[in-house]
Structure 1
Amino acid sequence: MASASLEITPTLRALLDRSALGLRLISRESDLADGALDRTLRWVHTTDLADPTPFLTDDLLLLTTGTQFATGTAQEAESYVQRITSRGVAALGFGTEVVRDGVPPALAAACARAALPLFEVPYRTPFIAIARANAEAVAAQAYARRSWALDAQRAISLAALRPDGLGATVAELAKQLGAWVALFDAAGTMTRESPAGALTDTMRAALDDEVTAVLSRGARAGSALSIAGQPFTLQTLGRGGHLRGVIAIASTELDQEGRSVVTSVIAMAGLALEQHQSLGRSRAALRAGLIDALHANHTSFVRRVVRSSGDALPPAPVMVAVAKAPQRLDAVTEWLELRGAESRGSVFFGRHEGDLVVIIPATARERLAAFAARFDLHIGHSDATDYDTFAEALAQARLARDRGSSGVTAFADTHSAGVLGTLSEESRLVAQRVLAPLAAVDERDGSDLMHTLRTYLECNGSAESTATALGVHRHTVRARVKAAERALGLRLDTFPARAELWAAFQASPA
């Protein structure tokens, strides 16, 4: 079996091992670069030109009889070897007993210095026999690779029919390529890998970052990168703008047959994920309906439906969180579903009035921070609550989301400023309009009604306390209050009027 394998390998070692050709390696293998004898030979070319470089290509085996060496000097041989190695020639064969007896020592020395494999071709072996042997090896290798590709695609197709089709497909692809393979979902989370645990934590973190960057760009593409010296190939799944995931392969650039096998896996995985997406839309509609039912206080009904689907609501007390539905909703949904699959009853989510609503145990607030950071979301969450007050908790979460600036905002943080601290932007506009007459009088007359009236209200309507605080006479305070009442068109000797004006002062940015 070993000799058969060598015969279909287009390398110099394979040619040297074919005893019928009678080739003899002149170079010492220890003087050559690693793998020099196992370098793939794309073609065999014969020439006796002193400068054949215009007619050469990379990975070429060059054969010559040496007629171009007119002087036989070391300089002549050195220049020749430098020319052909600069064009990527992989090895040099010298035909003896045609023009010269044996291989010229100057040529052997020049090849040794350049680490270029040099071998002797005996007179009885025609150059065309070497070319034909290598061409047969190239053809046999191509046939073997095509046969491998067909067998690999057949094995992968059968794997796709197993219960966990995606997982079996990834494992079979890894087996066929002899490389580590992983599948990432639309959220950039690794869902399957084979063989498991093959990457270091550092490599895994760097690969996660790269996959997340590829998915965030949203364009369908293939890319290559190197992490800690290990090459990786990334291929996106799905169509541009609707990527469903990424397949990562720890391998160098694949040949045509390898790419065809990977392409078939991408097609199958993409189809499976699109079907999963269709099912996901149905689940999303169901979840939205269940959130509506919780909002309407039909908790028992929701529990029965969730239980019948093999899931469970998080145990009370729970925390209700709200975020604007993100653009990458599919990725977010898959991430949340994966978290739920890891621990039954750890999370429940759904859409409600254009928002994404997430329910988690009240003790798991730290999950929201990771969630917000991963998808760049602004999340508001309620106080700990039971399901019978779900509607109130949802309102709390929305208020926290709207009042917060970024990251995760708790409802407790929003109401710490009191009722007046939660006044809306519309309230501020109304407050400015209510106080506008006072500002106009102050600007026209140079008076101090605004400041006097705010201090008056802070002093519970006491003219004496206000006068002390302002450093003026109490009659001055009473005169200014009367002027303020005329400007505002109201009396400040009643609590409702004072409360209304105090709210205006609190809401106004002035």
Structure 2
Amino acid sequence: MPATLTQLLARAELGLRLLTPHSAGDPDAPLAWAHSSDLPDPTPFLSPGQVLLITEPPEDAEAYVARLSAHGIAALGFGTEVVRAGTPESLVAACTQHGLPLFEVPYRTPFIAVVRFVADRVAADAYARNTWALRASRAISLAALRPGALGAVLSELSRQIERPVALVGADGAVARSYPAGAVDARARRALAEAADPLLRSGRRAAGTVGTDAGPFALQTLGAAGRLRGVLAVGSEGLDAAAQQVVTGVVALAGLALEQSRAADAARSRLRTAVWRALVAGDTEVAASIAEPVLDALPQPPFRVAVLAGSGVAAAADWLESNADVFFARDGQDLVVLGDDTVPATLAGRFDLRGGVSSPAGLAGLPTALEQAAAARNRATADDPVASFDDVAAAGMLELLRTPDARAVAATALQPLFAADPTLPGILRTWLDADGVYDVAARQLGIHRHTLRARVAEAERLLGRDLSSFAARADLYAALRASA
């Protein structure tokens, strides 16, 4: 361990004498270094935890000591018989008042002897901690060779650093913790809540959180875009050597989790094969493949959801552990068979967009897939998972609300807008009135002959006869799409 003031004063060969009460400061706090300076204000050149050695009495002892105390200086040593005999009483009083330990250094003791004692202990402590870090890292590396490598690594880490360690899985729940019982239910909830935004970000990140079990440092595991979990390590009092060991474990834990990716990839390919067999109508083949590994196929009726977005891979990982539904990757899409609650959860958690079909059975999967794809085109930021039931209820004309339809409508109606921007609105009112001039004229507040003239003008501008149903329907669709 590093030097302390108690150890420094105990060195008989140095002949140091404490002048302030033993209650002043913390005599057992580690000393970072010892430094000598007779500057009026040496604090810009000092760090907290250091010992300052002086020979020149300060002009204003109270202000001088106040600055040192506020800066976090651990102790002050005054060398006697260099500038004056004995230590000034004003300096003793100021140090006592501010709780700064003050000791007297006799003339026969050079400051370098005090500095060397502190430096030797600091160096010895650093060597000891580095040696410990090497031994701890070796023990953890050997643990990685045992069966259940991830659990063995985390357990050994907890034992070496004497702190609790927990692993939050990709699903956002605390999967395991060490030592057993060190993380209670409330602490587990706090860790899960703190890990959730890190996992949602999809990027490598770190954070901290306070719990009933003490503060924890959090570090994501896995590559950006496909995080495998979050490592939570009790962080209270961890020094640089312990943090070095934790950094090594982050790499080992990430590697252990990545080793399971091959199995996950195989399951993903199997799910895709089962899904494509279902869509092709090979239900018996799909069931025979799925049931031994993926459990039974869903029972109808169910809805088909098609989801897309950058978080599809993470969503599939989450489904593997958290949902009792059939799902599969189909190209860049994620297909889910179940109710409409799971797709909504995935969209909110992983920023996905998609659509949900009407209730269907296994025989109707191709149609349900088309419905889900059509509904996905209606998804918005406010409604990230659109329902085909809502699309069907809105009618055929609602399908005109697409960029392509608006572009075609704008081109078709451009002659009308160029001639008179009010003309499209007049035509819309006329068509809404089923082409009855008297009714539409009253709604517009104009004479029916004026309305007939405006309709005739529109026919001339568009180059088409609006007396047929087909022409009126086409114009009405363009007006609806441009609205």
User: Normalised by the size of structure 2, how large is the TM-score?
Assistant: 0.75
Matching residue within 367, 382, 390 for 1:413: 390
CA root-mean-square deviation: 4.8
Q: Which amino acid aligns with 2:268?
A: A
Partner of 2:313: 330
Partner of 2:50: 60
Q: How does 1:467-486 map to 2 (within 5 A)?
A: none
What is the CA distance between 1:262 and its match in structure 2? 1.7
CA distance in 1, matches of 2:112, 2:419: 109
CA contact (8 A) 1:442 1:450 kept: no
Partner of 1:42: 32
CA contact (8 A) 2:221 2:228 kept: yes
CA contact (8 A) 1:351 1:357 kept: yes
Alpha carbons of 1:43 and 1:151: their partners in 2 closer, same or farther (altered >3 Å)? same
1:352 and 2:330 are equivalent in the alignment: yes
Matching residue within 6, 11, 17 for 1:13: 6
What is the CA distance between 1:399 and its match in structure 2? 1.6
DSSP-derived class of the 2:260 partner: helix
CA distance in 2, matches of 1:52, 1:481: 92
CA distance in 1, matches of 2:438, 2:253: 80
CA contact (8 A) 1:382 1:410 kept: yes
Paired residues in the alignment total: 466
1:505 and 2:476 are equivalent in the alignment: yes
Q: How does 1:397-408 map to 2 (within 5 A)?
A: 397-405=372-380, 406-408=383-385
Task: Give per-residue Cα distances to partners, 1:408-463, cap 9 Å, x unaligned.
Answer: 222211111234544575667778899999999999x99x8876566447xxxxx8
Matching residue within 188, 192, 195 for 1:208: 195
Partner of 2:156: 172
CA contact (8 A) 1:438 1:488 kept: no
CA distance in 2, matches of 1:128, 1:478: 109
Q: Which amino acid aligns with 1:412?
A: D
CA distance in 2, matches of 1:476, 1:100: 114
Larger CA deviation: 384-393 vs 422-431: 422-431
Q: Which amino acid aligns with 1:166?
A: L
1:297 and 2:274 are equivalent in the alignment: no
CA contact (8 A) 1:233 1:252 kept: no
Alpha carbons of 1:53 and 1:479: their partners in 2 closer, same or farther (altered >3 Å)? closer
What is the CA distance between 1:321 and its match in structure 2? 0.8
Q: Which amino acid aligns with 2:348?
A: A
Matching residue within 303, 328, 353 for 1:319: 303
Specify every segment of 5 or more residues in structure 2 that has no aligned partner in the other structure, as ranges. Answer: none
CA contact (8 A) 2:311 2:351 kept: no
What is the CA distance between 1:356 and its match in structure 2? 1.5
Partner of 1:4: none
1:108 and 2:92 are equivalent in the alignment: yes
1:258 and 2:245 are equivalent in the alignment: no
Task: Give per-residue Cα distances to partners, 1:21-70, cap 9 Å, x unaligned.
Answer: 6755443344x35xx223321223456x4748387554322345xx534x
CA distance in 2, matches of 1:454, 1:81: 89
Alpha carbons of 1:91 and 1:453: their partners in 2 closer, same or farther (altered >3 Å)? closer
CA distance in 2, matches of 1:479, 1:128: 108
1:197 and 2:174 are equivalent in the alignment: no
DSSP-derived class of the 2:377 partner: helix
CA distance in 2, matches of 1:191, 1:251: 19
What is the CA distance between 1:282 and its match in structure 2? 3.5
Alpha carbons of 1:441 and 1:59: their partners in 2 closer, same or farther (altered >3 Å)? closer
CA distance in 2, matches of 1:25, 1:500: 105
User: Normalised by the size of structure 1, how large is the TM-score?
Assistant: 0.72
CA contact (8 A) 1:415 1:422 kept: no
The alignment-based identity, stated in percent, is 43
DSSP-derived class of the 1:38 partner: coil
Specify every segment of 5 or more residues in structure 1 that has no aligned partner in the other structure, as ranges. Answer: 1-7, 341-345, 458-462, 493-497
Alpha carbons of 1:371 and 1:453: their partners in 2 closer, same or farther (altered >3 Å)? closer
Task: Give per-residue Cα distances to partners, 1:211-235, cap 9 Å, x unaligned.
Answer: 247x34x3x56x5556589755443
Q: How does 1:265-304 map to 2 (within 5 A)?
A: 265-304=249-288
Alpha carbons of 1:291 and 1:79: their partners in 2 closer, same or farther (altered >3 Å)? same
Alpha carbons of 1:353 and 1:333: their partners in 2 closer, same or farther (altered >3 Å)? closer
What is the CA distance between 1:367 and its match in structure 2? 2.9
Partner of 2:345: 370
CA distance in 1, matches of 2:428, 2:222: 63
